[in-house]
């Protein structure tokens, strides 16, 4: 495919139309499902997570890690901090393609897998020079689900001047291309840009952006033209009462909210946009990170969930006035007809059981019946009592259960020396990246991909994985597949 940029309407139209042949990157449009017997450990490194009591039936297998040598690209190193990702059928042949941000490397990798989910080739399609900022969560928009694309929306969060990239994951590698940023989305310390499904508000494109800042926002880009990433308007969430303090909201209550427009988005700096959030009395959340919507139709696309990771004072014990500390998960139910109106409530709050419930929730994955909340506990709160955990929240019963947890194996001397080489006495030194339901793609029900950032696993041979020569980070990274997670 020809390479495209995103600086004008012609370029975006080229992406949408040129990629339309890939609009069904799921199993139903291609060949036979993967044989479940092929879900075996593919990495030379062991899985770095374990199941929790009550979830012993989960099957965890490794997909790829930093020590793996792939047969068609022996020099490729799967780099540090795989975060936002996508997993699709290969439209040009047999097998699959997995794309992942590598947050600390400012980079994006593309790994080709055969029909049995064995990684065979890897490359970087964005390096640190092209990525420019830390690339965190990401969402692949597709014509099948969102009405446009496919385009990989990956948000930068190095500082308030960071921007969101829109990347063609099927194009030839163009590692240093800086022209793929979307000016209409504004400049934010952003975590993700998530388009709502096409049936949420027919005829419109609505994209939600989470600002990972102490005074964070839930931002909405809205266009009356499907797939238009240029001419829409940018808004942020405000209570209709115009109360801006996050901790004025409590669990068990529902709050009327609206999206209020920004002025002069394309010419404003990130600092100027942040000033507008104060002047316009938008809600000041403690670090809005990941966002997802309920699956399954019947208005599910208008039922949105997002995390506010939380902040503390420097002592890691004392809250910041007006901000949640331990982390929260919010539910935003949009008005059936109006993407600028809705109701907001808190469904999970780490303050309910400080230290032994959710701690700094970051990534989130929502299915038809559950919300899966992934911790980023490397804030090292002193009263935290557990390693990084994925929690299962039942939408019907409102019950939360610890489902998966990082497996540090600190009593295993050889493992401890390799994977816990720094900070090996601290809890929650590892964090999660994307958790993606790949059941439809593989044809195996209840099958998910999970990215892992094992920060204390370090070796000089992992440094410079993207080839840019910019990053000095030398962490390893891993992606696993977990079968048996309820949808």
Share of the chain above pLDDT 70, in %: 94
Residue 14: is its pLDDT beyond 90? no
Checking if the pLDDT of 6 tops 70, the result is no
pLDDT in tens, 405-435: 999 999 999 999 999 988 777 899 999 999 9
Distance CA 159, CA 274 (A): 12
Q: What is the mean pLDDT of residues 174-201?
A: 97
The pLDDT tens digits of the residues spanning 359-378 come to 999 999 999 999 999 999 88
Q: How confident is the model at residue 351 (pLDDT cuts 50, 70, 90)?
A: very high
Residue 188 has pLDDT above 80, yes or no: yes
| Both tokens assigned to 348 | 């999970």
353: pLDDT strictly greater than 90: yes
Q: What is the DSSP-derived secondary structure letter of residue 216?
A: B
Per-residue pLDDT band for 31 (boundaries 50, 70, 90) equals low
pLDDT for 140 equals 98
Residue 318, pLDDT above cutoff 70: yes
User: Which pLDDT does position 25 carry in this prediction?
Assistant: 45
Q: Which fold has domain 9-483?
A: Neuraminidase (2.120.10)
Largest CA distance in the chain: 59
Helices (H), 78-157: 128-131, 143-146
> Rounded to an integer, what is the distance from CA 384 to the centroid of its chain?
24
Chain mean pLDDT for the chain: 93
Q: What integer pLDDT is reported at residue 299 of this predicted model?
A: 81
Label residue 257 by pLDDT band (50, 70, 90): very high
Q: Are 433 and 380 in contact (CB under 8 A)?
A: no
The owner of tokens 């609009």 is: 23
| Res 80 pLDDT > 60 | yes
pLDDT above 90: residue 244: yes
Q: What is the mean pLDDT of residues 339-362?
A: 97
- For the residues 181-187, what does the mean pLDDT come to? 98
Number of H helices, E strands in the chain: 6, 25
Rounded distance, CA 343 to CA 331, Å? 8
Mean pLDDT of 461-479: 97
| Range from 174-183, 375-384, 451-460, 466-475 carrying the lowest mean pLDDT | 375-384
In this prediction, residue 288 carries a pLDDT of: 98
The strand pairing partners of 109, in sequence order, are: 100, 124
pLDDT digits (tens, 9 = 90+) for 192-210: 999 999 999 999 999 999 9
pLDDT at 29 over 90: no
Strand order, beta sheet including 119-126: 82-89, 96-102, 107-113, 119-126
> Exposed (0-12), middle (13-18) or buried (19+): which is 415, by Cβ within 10 Å?
middle
Which positions ≥6 away from 431 have C-beta within 8 Å?
362, 374, 375, 376, 377, 378, 388, 452, 453, 455
**pLDDT for the residue 87:** 98
- Model pLDDT for residues 259-295, shown as the tens digit of each residue: 999 999 999 999 999 999 999 999 999 999 999 999 9
Percent of the residues in the chain that have a pLDDT greater than 90, as a whole number:
90
H-run or E-run covering 304: strand 303-308
How confident is the model at residue 22, as a pLDDT? 34
CB 367 within 8 A of CB 410: no
- Kindly state the tokens that stand for 215: 């005074």
**Residues 462-471, mean pLDDT to the nearest whole number:** 97
């Amino acid at each position: 495919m020809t390479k495209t940029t995103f600086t004008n309407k012609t370029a975006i139209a080229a992406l949408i139309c040129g990629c339309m042949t890939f609009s069904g990157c799921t199993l139903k449009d291609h060949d036979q499902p993967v044989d479940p017997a092929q879900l075996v450990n593919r990495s030379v490194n062991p899985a770095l997570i374990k199941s929790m009591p009550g979830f012993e039936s989960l099957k965890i297998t490794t997909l790829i890690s930093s020590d793996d040598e792939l047969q068609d690209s022996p020099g490729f190193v799967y780099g540090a901090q795989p975060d936002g990702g996508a997993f699709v059928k290969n439209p040009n042949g047999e097998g699959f393609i997995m794309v992942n941000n590598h947050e600390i490397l400012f980079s994006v990798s593309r790994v080709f897998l055969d029909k049995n989910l064995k990684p065979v080739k890897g490359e970087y399609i964005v390096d640190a020079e092209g990525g420019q900022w830390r690339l965190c969560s990401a969402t692949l928009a597709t014509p099948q689900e969102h009405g446009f694309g496919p385009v990989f929306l990956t948000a930068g969060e190095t500082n308030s001047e960071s921007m969101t990239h829109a990347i063609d994951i099927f194009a030839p590698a163009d590692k240093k291309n800086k022209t793929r940023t979307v000016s209409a989305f504004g400049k934010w310390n952003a975590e993700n840009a998530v388009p709502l499904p096409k049936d949420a508000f027919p005829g419109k494109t609505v994209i939600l952006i989470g600002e990972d800042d102490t005074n964070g926002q839930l931002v909405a880009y809205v266009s009356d033209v499907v797939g238009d990433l240029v001419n829409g308007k940018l808004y942020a969430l405000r209570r209709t009462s115009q109360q801006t303090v996050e901790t004025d909201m409590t669990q068990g209550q529902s709050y009327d909210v609206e999206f209020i427009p920004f002025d002069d988005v394309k010419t404003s700096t990130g600092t100027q946009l942040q000033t507008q959030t104060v002047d316009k009395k938008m809600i000041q959340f403690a670090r809005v990170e990941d966002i997802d919507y309920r699956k399954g139709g019947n208005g599910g696309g208008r039922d949105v969930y997002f995390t506010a990771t939380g902040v503390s004072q420097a002592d890691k014990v004392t809250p910041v006035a007006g901000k949640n500390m331990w982390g929260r998960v919010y539910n935003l139910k949009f008005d059936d007809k109006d993407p600028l109106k809705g109701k907001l409530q808190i469904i999970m709050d780490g303050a309910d059981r400080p230290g032994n419930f959710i701690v700094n929730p970051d990534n989130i994955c929502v299915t038809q019946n559950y919300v899966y909340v992934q911790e980023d506990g490397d804030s090292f709160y002193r009263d935290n009592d557990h390693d990084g955990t994925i929690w299962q929240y039942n939408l019907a019963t409102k019950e939360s259960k610890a489902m998966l947890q990082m497996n540090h194996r600190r009593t295993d001397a050889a493992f401890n020396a390799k994977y816990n080489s720094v900070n090996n006495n601290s809890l929650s030194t590892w964090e999660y990246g994307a958790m993606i339901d790949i059941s439809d793609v593989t044809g195996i029900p209840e099958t998910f991909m999970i990215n892992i950032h094992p920060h204390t696993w370090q070796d000089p041979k992992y440094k410079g994985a993207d080839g840019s020569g910019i990053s000095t980070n030398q962490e390893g990274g891993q992606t696993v597949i977990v079968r048996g997670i309820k949808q």
